[in-house]
Amino acid sequence: MNIINTLLGTPFGYVLYFAFLLTGSFGMAIVLFSITAKILLFPVMRIAHLNSIRLLRLQPELYVIKKRYAHDKEVLNEEQYNLFKKEKYNPLVGIFPLLVQLLLLMGMLQVMYDPLHHMRLPEGSDLHFLGINLGVVPSLRNPSIELIMPILSGFAAFAFSLVQNFISPGALSQGKKTNIGLIVFTVVLSVYFAAVTPAGVGLYWTVGNLFAIVTVTALYFMYNPNKLAAEALTFKKPKQKTPEEIKEEKKYVNALKLKEKSDVAKFLAADKKLVFYALTGGQYKYYKTIIDYVVENSDIVVHYLTNDPEDALFKMNNPQIIPYYVSQRKTLFLMLKLDADMVLTTVSDLQNFHIKRSVVRDDIEYVYVFHAPISSIVQYKETAFDHFDTILCVGPHHSAEMRQREELAKIKKRRLVKAGYGLYDQLLENYNSLHKTENKKTKILIAPSWQSENIFESCIDDILGQLIDRSYEIIVRPHPQFMVLFPERMEALVERYSANNEIIFELNFAGNDSIYTSDLIITDWSGIAYEFAYCTSKPCIFINTPPKITNTNYKQYGIEPMEHTIRNDIGISVEPADIREKLQPVIEKLLNDKGSFSEQIKETLSKYIYHPGRSGEAGGKYIIGKLKR
């Protein structure tokens, strides 16, 4: 405390003494000091105000980042940092004014507890101001006029907070509940603080808050956030849930907890050889052909662990497939305590993130199943597959990439199984069973990815502008994940084109008719392009939006990523800036040259897929062979 007294109490005492000499009043000295401090702080407040406006402008982009990377905190923080750096927003700028005010308050406290000493005032000096003794602490036990200071302090804090909530950019970027909570906290803190310190501190706090209203008002008129961040203020987040919806959600959550408790007990008690783990219900389609082969050709029981309580497997009635619902948090525990012979999953980054290898058995074979035929060295983290024992490779590109990774990272060699891609086999089987008819109108499918700067976020209006009024049937099919994360964006897009009868928005993903029946597809980096081309042998148009690159070191592998090389073999690429000039001519070229593209597509895809039509057999035979030894 002596250090604080020396560093703050002594110099503040001299400043207040000078103010006392100017005014001749102890109270007026505090008022003058408080106002002067706010004036001197104005340049700092200005910087903080402009910094807050930058943050307000970033709200739509921050919302997108938080939604898109909600399950990957490392990437979320990196993307957020990059955005702040790009827009020159510094989170620490807002803290600086608070730190300065804290120092001022600490200095004022030192002076107020011993004003005669710090201000070099003679004994018996009058510390009264408007009838209030500023040198004493208000007391409820001995009520006096000094009790008005906590009330005035609370009122000033309330008035300042109220004004700030209406006009400051910081408050405009926060929710209503947050702002109300801050008002309550600020008022309670101000009342309490003024009640337990000398009345002079309460006067300083009261005057400071009242003059701060002038400060924030001046900043508002100088740099109006409603004008400087107008676009961000019109951004609408999803509607808040109603009390009824919250009640139903709690009821549903409680039911899930009971189901999870029961399924966890069953899973732990089961004698398990083969376990499949799925993060979502949609991942079953990547396992289906493998599971079907194992069930049909052996007596091995499939224990299917899923984080999705609505997974379709719960509706199946096959005694050889046992599904269990477990939350992601509980999955961590079950995986650590796992006792099985083999685990298959489409979830990468084993051992690096929430899924760890078992501590009970060190001989469990962990097998990775790809959920897309894309390169393993670009859109995944560099260490994503290092801790798996076996990889079910889709094609030769995966085999080459895995071996190159082992060489560069000096890790043990993994078993590479030439497995193919089961989803393609299912799609092709369904497509071949359809009765084919010629479309009366050329049908164009627009199906982007959900990654950053996808078609919907960058150029959808330009694309639709080139297709409308040309006698096309246009189907817009968003990525399911885009619908989950950004329903409000999809609603806005649908509303924007609701009056146009040429455009159909396909928001139900139960079927694949649009994939099977379209004449060509327009996409960016979505894997749906390969599904479309594989099944139909029809061409694709790729809009060259920025690709997703998770592993920035991919070039050191010396292998060109499959999704980069294949684009112009199964279609034609168009730059976003060239859409208005080149998109329509490219469409006409592809439609007029279907035959040659069809043969080229078949030849190209055959190079990238192992065992077309037999992937389930390839993967299933490996599993049965290992577990039946």
pTM, two decimals, is 0.72
Q: How confident is the model at residue 2 (pLDDT cuts 50, 70, 90)?
A: low
H/E stretch holding 162 reads helix 148-167
* Cross-strand bridge partners of residue 444: 474, 520
Token pair of 436 as six digits: 């084919």
For residue 399, the tally of other CB atoms under 10 A from its CB is 17
Contacts of 127 (CB under 8 A, 6+ apart): 26, 115, 133, 134, 135, 200
For residue 346, the tally of other CB atoms under 10 A from its CB is 20
Give the span between the Cα atoms of 464 and 470, in whole angstroms: 11
Give the span between the Cα atoms of 33 and 134, in whole angstroms: 15
How many CA within 13 A on the CB side of residue 148?
A: 10
pLDDT of residue 234: 65
Which range has the top average pLDDT, 66-70, 250-254, 286-290, 511-515? 286-290
Q: What is the pLDDT of residues 398-453, one digit of tens each?
A: 999 999 999 999 999 999 999 999 998 998 888 888 887 888 899 999 999 988 88
The closest alpha carbon to 276, from 209, 371, 359, 188, belongs to 371
Average pLDDT, the chain: 86
Q: Check if the beta carbon of residue 559 is closer than 8 Å to that of residue 401.
A: yes
Strands 128-129 and 132-133: antiparallel
**463 vs 181, higher pLDDT:** 463
H/E stretch holding 428 reads helix 422-433
Give the span between the Cα atoms of 313 and 319, in whole angstroms: 11
Give the span between the Cα atoms of 369 and 391, in whole angstroms: 7
In this predicted structure, the answer to whether residue 321 has a pLDDT above a threshold of 60 is yes
Q: Looking at 56-60, 307-311, 554-558, 562-566, which range is the least confident one?
A: 56-60
The closest alpha carbon to 431, from 509, 533, 516, 511, belongs to 516
**For the residues 499-525, what does the mean pLDDT come to?**
88
Token pair of 615 as six digits: 């992937």
Q: How far does Cα 27 stand from its chain's mean position?
A: 52
Q: Is residue 249 exposed (0-12), middle (13-18) or buried (19+ Cβ within 10 Å)?
A: exposed
**For the residues 544-571, what does the mean pLDDT come to?**
90
CA dihedral for 64, 66, 70, 72, sign (positive or negative):
positive
Instruction: Encode 357-366: b = buried (16+ Cβ within 10 Å), e = exposed.
Output: bbeeeeebbb
Q: Check if the beta carbon of residue 171 is closer than 8 Å to that of residue 165.
A: yes
